[in-house]
Amino acid sequence: MAWFTFLISGTLLAATPLLIAALGEVIVEKSGVLNLSIEGMMSVGAVVAFIVVLYSGSHWLALVAGGMAALALSVIFAFVVLLALGNQVVSGLAVGLFGIGVAGLVGKPYENMTVAPMQRIDVPLLSDIPVLGPGLFHHPLPVYLAPLLAVLLWWMLKYSKVGLVLRAVGESPESANAVGYNVVGVRFLAIIFGGFLAGVAGAFICIASSTLWADGMIAGRGWIVIALVMFAMWRVERVIIGAYLFGAASIGELLVQSAGISVPSQLMTSIPYIVTIVAVSILSMDGKRVRLNAPVSLGRVYLGTH
């Protein structure tokens, strides 16, 4: 049953950064802003985290540093779309490409260097369960914290005043402004929160999963995150399920190789993206359902303060 343990363990490791970044993107899109720069933010977070671990040896400091680096990039995006009134799609693509370029430039001297992986924690008693124990309960702490964050954000969106304000801004910014809420301020906070989580997600990939830096190592995960949010219909509980499904798909190559099956590696590497295309295509067939669940003002420039 070693392959089953490997499947569970690999799925959790692969799904954790997707879940973290997708939770941030849900918050951003709930506020009415479409952020397509996740790939660049994850890339910046990854390279900064790698450098911090390399010189400090602290993985937790690296996670925070990666998140702050991506947060700085998200401030640029927020300025362009909220104050300069830039088109959200074009601005997101531009900022994302900028982030990828910066990460490649900063990380050039560190290409293919490695660092020690983040410490794994054994959950008392549970990690000793045969087969399931090593797969489920022997991981770095962020693997366990990510679902807890998801539950917290689910509660916040559903039951708290903060969630109510966020959803009001995303549904009708004009009405939210009329009752006294600062639409630009709420959206700004949502964007930098999402940026921070995207940076943490990229950092996790670099220091806990892959433990190396290579240009392009995020490898499209930012786009998978955006597709995952759509696939989940902007609902946190579905984001959790979707993240682990996409995580399982992303380790297909390693699972097939471990089984000794001869399949072209290019085909196996493409599985997560094939799954993404299929999921989004199926979702797009039901346009009415998408429109009912999507924040009404998603992608629209807000002109209320100008």
Per residue of the chain (306 residues), give pLDDT as tens. Answer: 577 787 888 889 999 999 999 999 999 999 999 999 999 999 999 999 999 999 999 999 999 999 999 999 999 999 999 999 999 999 999 999 999 999 999 999 999 899 999 999 888 878 778 878 888 888 999 999 999 999 999 999 999 999 999 999 999 999 999 999 999 999 999 999 999 999 999 999 999 988 889 998 998 899 999 989 988 889 999 999 989 988 888 776 666 656 666 666 666 667 777 777 777 677 666 666 666 678 889 989 888 754
Query: How far apart (Å, rounded) are the C-alpha atoms in residues 38 and 273?
Result: 16
Where along the chain do its domains lie? 8-115+145-293
- What CATH class is the domain 8-115+145-293? mainly alpha
Query: How far apart (Å, rounded) are the C-alpha atoms in residues 163 and 153?
Result: 9
Query: How far apart (Å, rounded) are the C-alpha atoms in residues 228 and 240?
Result: 10
Which run of H or E residues covers position 134?
helix 132-136
What pTM does this model have?
A: 0.93
Please name which of 15, 23, 34 lies closest in space to residue 155, comparing C-alpha atoms.
23
